[in-house]
A = this chain, B = another copy of it.
Amino acid sequence: MTRAPYISIHVPSALNGQRPTTKDVIAAFVHEIGAGRLPGGSRLPPVRVLERQLGLSKNTVQIAYEELVARGLIVTRERDGAFVASRAAAHGLPLAVSEPPVPQLRPSPLLFASPPAEGMLRLSAVFIDPSLLPKERFSDCMRSVLRSPGLAPFYDAQGYLPLRQAIARRLELRGMDVRPENIVVTVGSQQALDIVCRALEVRRMATEDPVYPHARLLFESHALAVSGLPLDPFSPIDLDLWESRLRAHRPGLFYAITSFQNPTGYSYTTGEIQSVCELAARHQFALLEDDWGSDMLSDSEYRPSLRALGGENVLYVNSFTKKILPALRIGFIVARADQVPSLVAAKRLSTLASAPLMEAALEEFLSRGYYDTHLAELQRELDARYELCVASLRELMPAGVRWTTPGGGPTLWLDLPRAVDLTALRARMAERRVHIEDASFAFYGAPHLHGFRVSYAFLAPGDLRRALEMLSEEIRRS
């Protein structure tokens, strides 16, 4: 049951470090009640509470309350305590407190036209099948951390140092020259992108088109002017087109998802990575690389990245959450050491820090070698599911349907003949309890592709096959 709060008053002499007397207590109540500032019926603090808060002996408050009862300003009820008498406030302000206005908040942005309903087969989900996630092994690491070193009372705003050391070692093996002082641990890669935006001086940026809608929405929420560079996963990047767009828009930063680009699933070639570095140098824009996808592909440890080839000026973002546990919420950003203070300051404004217990458990997970074992298992499984997906597409899809063949990893892009009405297809698939994404949110204008992402990472093989069978039937019916 909700009880009314005690009223809280100051006894002026107490504000100056003096011990108030009974007279001071009485005067304070008389003044507040007389000014109509304590509504009739308000609960007074119990004698012992007011005593302690004012630093008084028991009798002082007891005597004050008795005097206030005698003056008719307060009433006492057995067990319930003391209350401001109703008539005492009758000449004052209304009893009810004025209602302050409703805060004016922006309406929630509409990101996805039709979110998947409960129980639908999610053919476009970028998550990994929970049955493939190392929940037990991560629990072991957490239990180990709870035993030793135990819970840390405080935090390092830059991130738990042993974790930063472990991440630096991993990145070195991927061809990047990174030290722990270059790393800022974040609450997933979303916070990594957010703190870059917070710290950024430039006001214009570019992304691929289509792009991960949550990233674009984030950039726009920081009042950045964002333009898109068209990406067609069925062709090499049209670098001449990109250069003309870059010359026209003059962005200060280019955000690139270089492996399994979201949503197209496209991966940059070495030559394209080289060319993007050249464009950046020629047109003087900085690079922000999001490498979420590369380590879901077999043998990806030697895959080139902007950070590996372009060097320390490239801001690099990655995350463990998709691959270990979406609920883990640990990502990181790699930056030049002289830029880390700005990013840490931005992180402090955002969340002060991230939870070091989770960071310590992740460090344990990495140091025991569980992550490498897990990645190897995951890559094997994703390879198999990729093969199944591509084989099913070859078998099932009618002529005119195309798909990319990224060679493994989590997703590919499926493109349909323009004659197929995607809105109608989504609706018919939804009736059959299969969710496919409306990718139009990811494009900057009229979509230059006509399809959507297919993820073979999320659905179990049988479900994936069934979903593709239904998809093929509905495409043929279009």
Contacts and interface: CB of A to CB of B under 8 A. Distances in A.
A419 interface: no
20 contacts: A2-B173, A2-B175, A8-B304, A15-B404, A16-B402, A17-B390, A37-B275, A49-B298, A53-B297, A93-B278, A101-B284, A105-B343, A107-B342, A109-B345, A154-B326, A155-B326, A190-B349, A190-B350, A214-B348, A358-B358
B191 A351 contact: yes
A146 B139 contact: yes
Contacts of A99: 277, 281, 310-311, 313
Chain A interface size band reads: 35 or more
A447 interface: no
Given A299-B49, A349-B218, A101 B37 contact: no
Nearest to A406: B53
A28 B338 CA distance: 41
A7 interface: yes
A93 B200 CA distance: 31
A33 to B, nearest CB: 10
A90 interface: no
A296 B136 CA distance: 38
Interface in A286-302: 286-288, 297-299, 302
A44 to B, nearest CB: 10
Nearest to A147: B139
Given A135-B153, A139-B146, A270 B101 contact: no
Interface in A386-423: 387, 390, 393-394, 402-408
A269 B341 CA distance: 40
Interface in A323-374: 325-329, 335-336, 339, 341-345, 348-358
Contacts of A173: 2-3
Interface string A237-274: 00000000000000011000000000000011111011
Interface string A102-116: 111111110100000
A83 interface: no
A10 interface: yes
A4 interface: yes
A97 B2 CA distance: 67
Contact of A100 (B133, B176, B305, B314): B314
A52 B407 contact: yes
Interface stretch (A64-72, A228-236, A436-444, A459-467): A228-236
Interface string A29-52: 000100101110011011001001
A302 B49 CA distance: 11
Contacts of A4: 175, 302
A206 interface: no
Contact of A390 (B55, B150, B217, B352): B55
A468 interface: no
A2 B311 CA distance: 14
A123 interface: no
A475 to B, nearest CB: 15
Contacts of A310: 97-100
Given A38-B270, A101-B286, 19 more contacts: A2-B172, A7-B270, A16-B402, A17-B394, A17-B404, A49-B299, A52-B298, A53-B299, A99-B313, A100-B285, A102-B286, A103-B196, A103-B202, A105-B339, A107-B342, A188-B353, A198-B221, A328-B357, A329-B351
A152 interface: yes
A142 B142 contact: yes
Given A150-B139, A270-B8, A270-B37, A285 B101 contact: yes
Nearest to A297: B53
A9 B383 contact: no
Instruction: Please name the 7 residue pairs, one residue from A and one from B, whose CB atoms are nearest each other, closest first.
Output: A53-B407, A37-B271, A100-B280, A103-B286, A98-B281, A130-B153, A108-B341
B5 A349 contact: no
Contacts of A402: 16-17
A200 B104 contact: yes
A143 interface: yes
Given A98-B278, A108-B342, A275-B37, A153 B103 contact: no
B152 A327 contact: yes
